[in-house]
């Protein structure tokens, strides 16, 4: 994996609040190597470690994108939903930003069936086939389509398991991380001071509660993916 410069600087991370952890009573001892201080009852993340692991993650996604590999971004916090969707669309990644259904990856055959149903319904609606059905049936199909769009809309074009999964909240997306571990899918995860850094292949110590922190980390990763995709297109 080739190392590159991703313009990651401490001032930018401080301004985004990346360094703020949880209260000292809500912490995971495994995060001790990533904590630099305690301030007013709150742990402070070591931003030098954050910069190091974020840079490694950017190198990883750049190399993967330059080889045409696929990504899935998972972040189901309500406040981060739009951020996740816009970042994923910008980098042409799949995403889950509403709810992670248990077995979404480990029961891939079932997920593929649901996605096929979703695509068929969308096609039927676009072709005007709903107009020939009774109003009651149309209402039922539209409700089903709306539900599928809400929960599967971000992965509607995913035809196989992703090559790399990016997780924005380890505790909230624990099931997603476990499924990736079972399937051997590499993962990149933000880890706050109450998380377990051993659950992901690359853990980036950072504040996973503040939108400015999540946005900064995600934008760096998305930029690296976009750069890798550009190289892949040039070399085709």
Q: Tens place of pLDDT for every residue, the chain, 236 residues? A: 667 889 899 999 999 999 999 888 889 999 999 999 988 889 999 999 999 999 999 999 999 999 999 999 999 999 999 999 999 999 999 999 999 999 999 999 999 999 999 998 888 888 887 787 888 887 888 898 899 999 999 999 999 999 999 999 999 999 999 999 999 999 999 999 999 999 999 999 999 999 999 999 999 999 999 999 999 999 88
- Whether 38 and 83 map to the same domain: the answer is yes
DSSP secondary structure letters along 22-39: EETTS--GGGGGGEEEEE
- Whether 22 and 66 map to the same domain: the answer is yes
**What six digits make up the tokens of 42?**
């709150």
Longest CA pairwise span in the chain (Å): 66
CB 205 within 8 A of CB 49: yes
Which residues, 6+ apart, have CB-to-CB distance to 146 below 8 Å? none
- Whether 182 and 209 map to the same domain: the answer is yes
Residue after which a domain boundary falls, among 120, 151, 182:
151
Please check whether residue 2 lies inside any domain of the structure.
Answer: no
Number of domains in the chain: 2
CATH code at 13? Answer: 3.40.50.10490
* CA separation for the pair 166, 73 (Å, rounded): 5
- Whether 74 and 96 map to the same domain: the answer is yes
- Whether 86 and 192 map to the same domain: the answer is yes
- Whether 97 and 193 map to the same domain: the answer is yes
> pTM of the full predicted structure?
0.93
Give the range of the structural domain holding residue 112, as residue numbers without chain letter: 107-151
């Amino acid at each position: 994996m080739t190392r590159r410069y991703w313009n990651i600087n401490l001032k930018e991370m401080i301004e985004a609040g990346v360094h703020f952890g949880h209260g000292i009573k809500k912490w995971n001892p495994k995060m001790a190597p990533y904590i630099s201080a305690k301030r007013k009852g709150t742990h402070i993340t070591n931003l030098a470690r954050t910069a190091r692991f974020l840079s490694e993650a950017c190198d990883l996604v750049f190399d993967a994108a330059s080889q045409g590999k696929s990504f899935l971004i998972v972040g189901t916090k309500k406040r981060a939903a739009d951020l996740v969707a816009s970042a994923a669309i910008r980098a042409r990644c799949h995403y889950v930003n509403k709810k992670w259904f248990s077995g979404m990856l480990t029961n891939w055959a079932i997920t593929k069936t649901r996605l096929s149903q979703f695509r068929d319904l969308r096609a039927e609606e676009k072709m005007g086939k709903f107009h020939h059905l009774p109003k009651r049936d149309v209402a039922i199909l539209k409700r089903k389509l709306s539900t599928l769009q809400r929960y599967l809309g971000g992965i509607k074009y995913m035809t196989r398991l992703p090559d790399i999964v990016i997780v924005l909240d380890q505790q909230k997306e624990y099931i997603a991380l476990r499924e990736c571990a079972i399937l051997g899918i590499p993962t990149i995860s933000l880890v706050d001071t109450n998380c377990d850094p051993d659950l992901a292949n690359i853990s980036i110590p950072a504040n996973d509660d503040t939108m400015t922190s999540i946005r900064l980390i995600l934008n760096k990763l998305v930029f690296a993916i976009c750069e890798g995709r550009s190289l892949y297109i040039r070399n085709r």
